[in-house]
Structure 1
Amino acid sequence: MSDNSGHDHAGAPRITLKTRLHAWWEGYDLSGLKGRGGEEDGKPQAGTAPAQPAARGHGPGVNRWGKPLWSANRIEVAEKLWGEGFNTPGGHDHIPYLVKPLGLNPAMSVLDLSAGLGGTSRTMTSKYGCWVTGLEASELLAKEGMIRSFKEGLEKKAPIETYDPENFSYPKRVDAIVYKEGMFSVRGKDQLFDGMELALKPRGHLLMTDYVIEPALAGAKAVQVWCDKEPMQPHLWSKDQMAAAFAQRNLDLRIAEDITDTHRGLIVSAIQGLVEHLERHHLDHDTKLAVMDEVELWVRRVSAIEAGMRVCRFYALKPAE
């Protein structure tokens, strides 16, 4: 949690970091762009789209306002934040820790339901020799992820394809499923859980990380701001609701672990690294806007975490038939 000094409990310089970021922005004489929307301390902030009523009925890969979630500029910024081939926290060094419970080996087949640019899928394949199919809701991310798999010669062992999380089914059965911080934005969680259970072989492994919150904390201001401005509208469950979903499908939940501090640390460290990069490099106008949008997205997530939202790792086994 943060305090009024502008430092978090570990002493991370949150205000200093924000000041440096906005100093970088102002240094390029783009202060007039601050009228694009968004608020902090009652003042407009650059690069943030104004909050609008959530729209329903749009297909996968678009935000709640019906616009594409990803662009070439956003991908460039994301890889600068998280590392080549990654668009969310946790790069090559983090994935082995994350998937350790799976006991991956070359004989195993894996589904990655939050493939993004394919970094997690390719890391699992390269390190453990397993066969991974990455599924991604954004057509652009899936295309770019597949390009990266081709470049690494992993187009057969780590292909990236598109899918719709709200209507998930898979024609084959696999040894393991990995789903990294994606379930929180799915409205139909029960159908997705059913689809995952059906896609697992007997003795199959299911590993998920996701944002959760206890009902008593869901009304916190920072959580509500995050919910209102998150590109994909959150549909948060509590940790107990997640555990119940595993139990209802006879999945043996072996790990239900709070990894919030690790996740938050990855975000803060990445933003600090990005700010240091920005201070040394000139960016074009569109990329600057993408930088501000992406940083503010992750700052809002950190604020929601500090207000009580948690990040948990769940690991379960499907029983033998």
Structure 2
Amino acid sequence: MTVVAKENPEQDGEITWREKLRAWWHGDDYAMRHMLPDEMPEAVAPEAGGEPAVPVETPTIERWTPRRQQIVQRLFGEGFNQPGGEELMKTLTQPLGLNPNMSITELGSGMGGMSRMLARDGLWIDAYEPDPDLFTAAGELARSQGLRQRTNLKNQPLDDLKFKRKSIDVFLSKEGLMSVQDKRLLLAKIRAAMKPGGQLMLTDFLLTGPTDSRIYEVWWEREPVKPHLLTPEGLQAELESLNFVICYIEDVSHEVKSAVIDAFSGYDRDLKLLGKNINENERDWVISEGEHWAIRISAMDANIVRLYRIYCRVVD
């Protein structure tokens, strides 16, 4: 794991939130579950007879409840359900030379961060998101920002997509395809739908280690939508068999790891700068989300799964 220097080293040797999260990533369950609550800003209960500012809900990663959407936006930024925000999205879109005359399709659009970013640049996007809660949130955010007309949002399973032949210039996806069961079928549909000179740019988790390890089992069991992964070699073979021209397939796991550290340490730092306390329920939600990403990072650090960026073109 990339070593990140502490911004404000403690003189008294107290373990920081960042160190605790990183320790948990390396398998120290105690550090996350028992040490973290002592480091985060003091939790406060609602005043007697008063109503809590937000509804108290049991933390979950099984559904994108309104409370979870609220928490991930506090961690990852307004309008984003994944770490990295627009900074990582721009690494996908900048090489593509996008312009308003292009037909652009995003697969697995989440809360719509990428589609809104592109819409603000004057582009038009078809965005598919299978989760109904994220789809609804994306529509509300696009509407509130005056971008609904440029973002054609569709709530549809990615396994069942159909596209008009040779109709799309660019396909985009940021960690949206992990749960697609028949990757070859979807890639074949994408290939058939691409115009001559079309481009495919995506990031996705790929299988790089054994599936009989405990780390893999913990990761697989924790994922709310069960993954179906190709290996890097398997993905390359599928793309080549469909006559994609592969520009690169590169491991970018370090990018998401850095984004996760920045998100959680930034959340902790901002609360302290504001002198703000959090209630017990918010603390539990933040820890739940932290555990979710810690397990993903643990699997990446063990080289069981890794995040890759894939860029392809077609000639005809």
Per-residue deviation, residues 265-284 of structure 1 (Å, max 9, x unmatched): 11111111123345543445
2:175/2:203 contact within 8 Å kept: yes
Task: Give the alignment partner of residue 203 of structure 2, picking from 209, 222, 231.
Answer: 209
Is 1:301 the counterpart of 2:301 in the alignment? Answer: no
Measure, in 1, the Cα distance between the counterparts of 2:178 and 2:117: 24
Task: Give the alignment partner of residue 104 of structure 2, picking from 93, 110, 115.
Answer: 110
2:202/2:310 contact within 8 Å kept: yes
Report how far residue 119 of structure 1 moved. Answer: 0.7
Match of 2:142 in 1: 149
Report how far residue 299 of structure 1 moved. Answer: 1.0
Residue ranges of structure 1 left out of the alignment (5+ in a row): 2-7, 31-46, 50-62
Secondary structure of the structure 2 residue equivalent to 1:16: helix
Matched AA of 1:16: K
Structure 1 residues 72, 318: CA separation in 2 closer, same or farther (over 3 Å shift)? Answer: same
Measure, in 1, the Cα distance between the counterparts of 2:192 and 2:75: 35
Match of 1:260 in 2: 253
Measure, in 2, the Cα distance between the counterparts of 1:48 and 1:286: 8
Secondary structure of the structure 1 residue equivalent to 2:150: coil
Is 1:22 the counterpart of 2:37 in the alignment? Answer: yes
Per-residue deviation, residues 41-93 of structure 1 (Å, max 9, x unmatched): xxxxxx777xxxxxxxxxxxxx8xxx6x2100111111112111111122123
Is 1:290 the counterpart of 2:281 in the alignment? Answer: no
Structure 2-normalised TM-score? 0.79
Secondary structure of the structure 2 residue equivalent to 1:202: strand
Task: Give the alignment partner of residue 313 of structure 2, picking from 288, 310, 317.
Answer: 317
After superposing the two structures, state which structure 1 stretch, 90-99 or 251-260, moved more. Answer: 90-99
Match of 1:227 in 2: 220
Considering only aligned residues, what root-mean-square deviation do their CA atoms show, in Å?
2.6
Is 1:138 the counterpart of 2:131 in the alignment? Answer: yes
Report how far residue 11 of structure 1 moved. Answer: 4.8
2:245/2:312 contact within 8 Å kept: yes
Determine which structure has more spread, i.e. the larger CA radius of gyration: 2
Structure 1 residues 284, 168: CA separation in 2 closer, same or farther (over 3 Å shift)? Answer: farther
Matched AA of 2:76: W
Structure 1 residues 159, 290: CA separation in 2 closer, same or farther (over 3 Å shift)? Answer: farther
1:76-115 equivalences in 2 (<5 Å): 76-115=70-109
Task: Give the alignment partner of residue 66 of structure 2, picking from 69, 72, 93.
Answer: 72
Per-residue deviation, residues 247-295 of structure 1 (Å, max 9, x unmatched): 1211111111111111211111111112334554344555443322211
After superposing the two structures, state which structure 1 stretch, 285-294 or 168-177, moved more. Answer: 285-294
Report how far residue 131 of structure 1 moved. Answer: 1.0
Report how far residue 232 of structure 1 moved. Answer: 1.3
Residue ranges of structure 2 left out of the alignment (5+ in a row): 7-15, 22-31, 46-57
Is 1:193 the counterpart of 2:187 in the alignment? Answer: yes
Task: Give the alignment partner of residue 125 of structure 1, picking from 114, 119, 131.
Answer: 119
Per-residue deviation, residues 203-234 of structure 1 (Å, max 9, x unmatched): 2111110111224x444433321111111112
Secondary structure of the structure 2 residue equivalent to 1:274: helix
Task: Give the alignment partner of residue 244 of structure 1, picking from 237, 257, 264.
Answer: 237
1:143/1:160 contact within 8 Å kept: no
Structure 1 residues 315, 143: CA separation in 2 closer, same or farther (over 3 Å shift)? Answer: same
Matched AA of 1:15: E
